[in-house]
């Protein structure tokens, strides 16, 4: 075995750099997840430019058309229904939360399905020391990163529009990320179980669009009939919208903020718990 191709001589004298498995400690889990994150970052290197353009374009279009265009009409009608602020100021934080939801669901449906069904890169990952839960958490880290990027870009555009009324708007960034994660973790937990991608279109059409329209993004849910309002209160998007709006307008109170954050965090945690199981079941056949 003198001129072997095997990287480190199997029979070698010194301990060559061998693969480093890790103990099942919490720190080990993070290190494993970070290895999978690196995969997604490498993958993202091909598409990051385009994704940044669309992350900038989308708030420009929405805030321009709805905030300024439609907003002028709304404001002419009186601002009482919006709590005395301009429509642009009302709409912007709602769109921030809604955009986070869309980013989250976009990143956790086809990319996850493709990894388990088309490219099978998930199967490759679990042939290494990584476990299904590491693969899951690594992708969630990537989604959190994308949510942070998109929300920060959104807030920058919003600030340029003069649509943010309080320095507390900066705190809307982590809230928007958490809103996204409250969608990302359950959707990803479900997406990995799919054998076909047909149900994703259904989720977009009958899940995202109604949430987008009726969770207080475009108008206060007090405008909805009283009997349907409790449904809106249950949707994670409403909690994200409500808290982002309160922060952006500088009207947040601690109790309300804790309820919203608690609800979104609970959904995120539930999604992770379910996803740990569904990933395992799908990848350890």
Smallest distance from the beta carbon of 172 to another protein, in angstroms? 34
Smallest distance from the beta carbon of 220 to another protein, in angstroms? 44
CA torsion 86-241-48-164 (nearest 10°) is 30
Closest CB to another protein among residues 166, 276: 276
Per CB under 8 A, 193 contacts another protein: no
Per CB under 8 A, 1 contacts another protein: yes
Closest CB to another protein among residues 77, 120: 120
Residue among 150, 133, 232, 148 nearest 185 (CA): 133
Dihedral sign computed on CA atoms, order 246, 249, 253, 254:
positive
Phi then psi dihedrals of residue 33, to 5 deg:
-60, -35
Number of residues lying near another protein (CB under 8 A): 42
Q: Could you tell me which stretch among 72-80, 120-128, 153-161, 221-229 binds another protein (CB under 8 A)?
A: 120-128
Per CB under 8 A, 198 contacts another protein: no
Smallest distance from the beta carbon of 192 to another protein, in angstroms? 15
Indicate which single residue of 123, 148, 193, 278 sits in contact with another protein (rule: CB under 8 A): 123
Per CB under 8 A, 79 contacts another protein: no
CA torsion 179-183-186-190 (nearest 10°) is -170
Provide the H-helix boundaries in the chain: 26-44, 48-62, 71-76, 87-108, 110-113, 121-126, 132-160, 172-191, 198-203, 209-214, 229-234, 236-249, 254-283
Alpha-carbon 10 to chain mean position: 44
Per CB under 8 A, 128 contacts another protein: yes
Q: How far is the C-alpha of 158 from the C-alpha of 143, rounded, in Å? A: 22
DSSP string, 202-270: HHIIIIIHHHHHHSSSSS-GGGS-GGGHHHHHHSHHHHHHHHHHHHHHT---HHHHHHHHHHHHHHHHH
Indicate which single residue of 54, 119, 195, 223 sits in contact with another protein (rule: CB under 8 A): 119
Closest CB to another protein among residues 21, 250: 21
Q: Could you tell me which stretch among 207-215, 246-254, 257-265, 277-285 binds another protein (CB under 8 A)?
A: 277-285
Q: Could you tell me which stretch among 38-46, 81-89, 197-205, 244-252 binds another protein (CB under 8 A)?
A: 38-46
Per CB under 8 A, 2 contacts another protein: yes
Which chain residues interact with another protein by CB under 8 A?
1-2, 4-11, 16-22, 24, 31-32, 35-36, 38-39, 42-43, 46, 119-121, 123-131, 283-285
């Amino acid at each position: 075995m003198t001129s072997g191709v095997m990287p480190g001589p199997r029979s070698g004298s010194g301990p060559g750099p061998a693969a480093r498995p890790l103990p099942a400690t919490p720190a080990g889990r993070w290190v494993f997840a970070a290895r999978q994150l690196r995969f997604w970052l490498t993958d993202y290197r091909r598409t990051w430019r385009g994704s940044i353009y669309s992350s900038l374009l989308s708030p420009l279009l929405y805030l321009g058309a709805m905030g300024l265009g439609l907003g002028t009409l709304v404001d002419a009608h009186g601002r009482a229904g919006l709590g005395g602020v301009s429509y642009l100021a009302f709409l912007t934080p709602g769109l921030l939360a809604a955009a986070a939801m869309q980013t989250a669901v976009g990143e956790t449906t086809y990319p996850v399905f493709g990894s388990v069904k088309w490219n099978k890169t998930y199967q490759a990952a679990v042939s290494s020391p990584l476990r299904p839960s590491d693969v899951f958490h690594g992708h969630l880290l990537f989604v959190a990163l994308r949510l942070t990027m998109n929300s920060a870009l959104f807030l920058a555009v919003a600030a340029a529009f003069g649509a943010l009324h309080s320095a507390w708007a900066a705190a809307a960034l982590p809230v928007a990320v958490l809103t996204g994660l409250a969608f990302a973790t359950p959707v990803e937990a479900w997406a990995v179980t799919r054998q076909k991608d047909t149900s994703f279109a259904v989720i977009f059409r009958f899940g995202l669009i109604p949430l987008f329209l009726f969770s207080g993004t475009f108008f206060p849910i007090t405008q909805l009939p009283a009997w349907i309002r409790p449904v809106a209160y249950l949707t994670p998007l409403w909690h994200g919208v409500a808290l982002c709006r309160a922060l952006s307008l500088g009207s947040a109170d601690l109790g309300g903020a804790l309820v919203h954050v608690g609800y979104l965090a609970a959904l995120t945690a539930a999604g992770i718990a379910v996803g740990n199981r569904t990933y395992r079941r799908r990848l350890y056949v």
